[in-house]
């Protein structure tokens, strides 16, 4: 039972259960958070009118029925109509997704493009000044709170140096600071894991063999070390991409970036349940899908990992 | 396992000193703070760090938009950060630790249920769940502790579970059962001491994460409510005045960043020292 197919089936099953749990929790939290009807109608609306709206939204039925209806609709990708936007909630959430994607992709790209070479160079030039400086910065990047990093960047690069706008979405200059803020943590993590992965393979016998047969240092590093260090780096990078989604909530709020994270927060303040549900659900699906892809790639590249996580 | 070098590096001594100092500062806030953190002098608003402000008093870190002394607010903010941080670690550790021990030892369907729940919690950004819960329960100090505490149980449960799983298979467990030892006794007397160091490592790393999460929620307006000073809340208040009065946001932010860095570095060091198997991640 250690085949790739069985491994994937097992992961998929767990994924589906996790998705079901996520949507159930979302349902429970949103239903507990109070009645949305008074927010929909003018304060002097007659009681009969409130009852009618409640009936239209299905809020007068028992919780069990509401839950069954909710799960049935989720399977169709239907989260009901947004109370605030007066459109299908899924459409609203999806329309904010490209902005989040743009930000997430830019952050991830910046993180990988900077972190990978820095990590390799740190490992190859271990204990050099560069290594110490880079890893010191990485430690700061890993422990700095995302929202404060954003505030710092705005102060230094927008207000003082006037290089980039403070907020909003537009040309590439709007993207720089939010992407750096969001990508900082991933950048730091990927740089550190790259360094330790390369250091790990440096000790392997096949590296000594490669050197012994007279290969140039560049070939040894590029071909033998990086290929073998790729697995842990890829895993961590994939996981980091997932956590970017969480960081997006905060980053989008700091920079007034019109993405799904900011939409979710504003919808919570508006008690616009359907939109919150749709946004959280999309985020969970993306996150789980990314993790599944990383796991699959891992399983393909490294047969040793295909055992079930008993 | 004996280690050749058991000396504690000076950085870690300094880190422990820093956290100790924070605890003392938080506890002695009424004595140390030069001014009332919630009352400002409107005549002395948005003053840059000064020895002699418009109200005739020194404001070493300046004043905010209501003329409140930033230094005093940072000092009082220590209380919120540390209380929430330590309480959250206690809650998360208690729930996650217990679940990890039980599930790791028992296995079976309960293991599947708990680990699937853990997967589900990790499956979406916790900040969204936290915001949702606080929107339901209302922003208050106990709710903040509860939410931040609940955010952390998964890490304890997962790591302790895998450690217990491997410990359970060791011969000494079979031997004790063969000699008539009960399961609770095995867990308390033999498993617990073996996982204690791992627990300490996670708790330290979790403390840093809890403090940052609290500040993030307060920054979003979902944590401690004004006028009570908290670092995250101060950074939020100062954001509108970033151009004219940077000190309102930057000083609490710097203290927050330093605290997070120092605590998580201590955790990393503890990990390398006590439990090298946890390294890399």
Identify the pLDDT of residue A1.
46
The fraction of chain B above a pLDDT of 70, given in percent, is 94
Contact yes or no for B136 and A32 at CB 8 A: yes
Rounded to two decimals, the pTM is 0.84
pLDDT value of position B278: 59
Assign B81 a pLDDT band (cuts: 50, 70, 90). very high
- How close, in Å, is residue B127 to chain A by CA atoms? 7
* pLDDT (0 to 100) of residue A302: 65
pLDDT for B91: 95
**Contact criterion met (CB < 8 Å) for B216 and A145:** yes
What pLDDT, in 10s, does the model give residues B24-77? 998 988 888 888 888 877 777 777 787 877 777 788 888 888 878 889 899 999
Residue B2 pLDDT class (50, 70, 90 cuts): very low
* Inter-chain CB proximity B249 and A33 less than 8 Å: no
Find the CB nearest A245 among B125, B260, B265. B125
Over residues A205-219, the pLDDT tens digits come to: 777 787 778 777 777
State the complex-level ipTM.
0.83
> What's the alpha-carbon Rg for chain A, to the nearest Å?
24
Residue of B nearest to A27 (CA): B132
- pLDDT of B260: 93
pLDDT at residue A159 is higher than 60: yes
> What are the tens digits of pLDDT across the range B191-212?
888 888 888 889 998 999 999 9
State the pLDDT at residue A33: 63
- pLDDT given for residue B20 in this prediction: 92
**pLDDT of the residue at B281:** 40
Position with higher pLDDT, A224 vs B98: B98
Query: What are the pLDDT digits (tens) for B112-140?
Result: 888 888 877 876 678 877 877 777 777 88
pLDDT band (50, 70, 90) for residue B279: low
The predicted structure's pLDDT at residue B105: 84
Q: For residue A303, name the pLDDT band (cuts at 50, 70, 90).
A: low
Does B97 or A270 have the greater pLDDT score?
Answer: B97
Query: In this complex, is the C-beta atom of A154 within 8 Å of any C-beta atom belonging to chain B?
Result: yes
Terminal-residue alpha carbon distance, chain B: 23
Compute the mean pLDDT over every residue in chain A, rounded to the nearest whole number.
80
- The arithmetic mean of pLDDT across residues B145-174, rounded, is 86
pLDDT at B280 over 60: no
* Candidate from A75-84, A178-187, B137-146, B251-260 with smallest mean pLDDT: A75-84
- Structure token pair of residue A133: 């400086």
From chain B, the residues in CB contact with A267 under 8 A are: none
CB spacing of A29 vs B132 below 8 angstroms? yes
Query: What gap in Å lies between CA B80 and CA B84, rounded to an integer?
Result: 6
Question: What tokens does A80 get?
Answer: 């009901």
B216-271 pLDDT, tens per residue?
A: 999 988 888 888 899 999 999 988 898 888 998 999 999 999 999 999 888 888 88
Question: For residues A308 and A294, which has the higher predicted lDDT (pLDDT)?
Answer: A294
Partner residue opposite B132 with nearest CB, options A236, A250, A276: A276
Touching B: A residues 166-195, CB under 8 Å: 193
With CB atoms and an 8 Å threshold, state whether A22 touches B123: yes
CA distance A91 to A36: 20
Average pLDDT over residues B87-98: 94
Q: How confident is the model at residue B1, as a pLDDT?
A: 43
The fraction of chain A above a pLDDT of 90, given in percent, is 5
Q: Is the pLDDT of residue A116 over 50?
A: yes
Q: Between the ranges A8-12, A57-61, B90-94, where is the mean pLDDT highest? A: B90-94
> According to the model, what pLDDT value does residue B15 have?
87
Does the pLDDT value for residue A15 go beyond 90? no
Would an 8 Å CB–CB cutoff place A229 in contact with chain B? no
List Cα–Cα distances, B193 to A260, B196, B199, in angstroms. 46, 5, 10
């Amino acid at each position: 039972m250690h085949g790739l197919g069985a491994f994937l089936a097992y992961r998929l099953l767990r994924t589906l259960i996790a998705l079901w749990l996520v949507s159930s929790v979302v349902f429970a939290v949103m239903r507990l958070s109070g009645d949305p009807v008074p927010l929909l109608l003018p304060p002097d609306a007659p009681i009969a009118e409130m009852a009618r709206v409640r009936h239209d939204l299905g809020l007068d039925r028992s919780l069990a029925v509401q839950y069954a209806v909710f799960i049935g609709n989720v399977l169709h990708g239907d989260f009901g109509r947004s109370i605030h936007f007066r459109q299908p909630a899924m459409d609203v959430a999806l329309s904010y997704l490209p902005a989040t994607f743009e930000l997430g992709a830019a952050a991830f790209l910046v993180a990988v493009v900077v972190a990978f070479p820095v990590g390799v160079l740190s490992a190859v030039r271990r204990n050099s000044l560069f290594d110490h400086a880079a890893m010191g910065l990485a430690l700061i990047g890993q422990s700095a709170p995302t929202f404060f990093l954003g505030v710092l960047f705005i102060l230094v690069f927008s207000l003082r140096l006037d290089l980039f706008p403070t907020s909003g979405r537009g040309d590439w200059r709007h993207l720089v600071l939010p992407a750096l803020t969001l990508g900082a943590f991933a950048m730091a993590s990927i740089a550190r894991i790259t360094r330790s992965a390369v250091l790990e393979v440096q000790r392997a016998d096949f590296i000594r063999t490669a050197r012994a047969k007279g290969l140039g240092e560049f070939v040894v590093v590029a071909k033998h070390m990086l290929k073998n260090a790729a697995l842990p780096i890829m895993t961590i990078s994939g996981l980091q991409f997932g956590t970017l989604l969480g960081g997006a909530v905060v980053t989008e709020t700091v920079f007034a970036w019109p993405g799904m994270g900011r939409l979710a927060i504003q919808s919570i303040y508006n008690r616009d349940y359907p939109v919150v549900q749709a946004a959280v659900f999309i985020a969970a699906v993306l996150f789980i899908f990314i993790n599944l892809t990383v796991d699959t790639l891992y399983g393909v590249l490294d047969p040793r990992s295909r055992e079930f996580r008993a | 396992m004996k280690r050749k070098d058991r000396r504690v590096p000076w950085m870690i001594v300094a880190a422990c000193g820093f956290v100790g100092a924070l605890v003392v500062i938080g506890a002695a806030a009424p004595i140390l703070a030069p001014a009332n953190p919630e009352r400002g002098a409107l005549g002395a608003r948005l003053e840059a760090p000064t020895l002699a402000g418009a109200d005739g008093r020194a404001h070493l870190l300046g004043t905010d938009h209501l003329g409140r002394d930033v230094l005093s607010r940072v000092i009082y903010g220590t209380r919120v950060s540390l209380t929430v941080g330590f309480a959250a670690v206690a809650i998360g550790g208690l729930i996650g630790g217990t679940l990890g021990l039980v599930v790791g030892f028992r296995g079976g369907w309960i293991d599947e249920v708990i680990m699937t729940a853990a997967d589900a919690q990790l499956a979406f950004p916790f900040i969204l769940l936290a915001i949702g819960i606080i929107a339901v329960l209302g922003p208050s100090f106990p709710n903040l502790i509860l939410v931040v505490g609940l955010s952390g149980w998964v890490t304890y449960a997962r790591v302790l579970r895998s450690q217990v799983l491997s410990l359970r298979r060791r011969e000494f467990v079979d031997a004790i059962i063969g000699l008539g030892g009960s399961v609770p006794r095995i867990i308390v007397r033999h498993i617990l001491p073996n996982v204690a160091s791992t627990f300490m490592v996670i708790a330290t790393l979790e403390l840093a994460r809890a403090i940052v999460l609290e500040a993030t929620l307060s920054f979003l307006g979902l944590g401690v409510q004004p006028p009570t000073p908290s670092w995250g809340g101060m950074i939020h208040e100062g954001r509108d005045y970033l151009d004219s009065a940077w000190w309102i946001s930057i000083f609490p932010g710097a203290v927050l960043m330093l605290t997070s860095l120092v605590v998580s570095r201590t955790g990393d060091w503890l990990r390398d020292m006590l439990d090298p198997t946890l390294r890399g991640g």
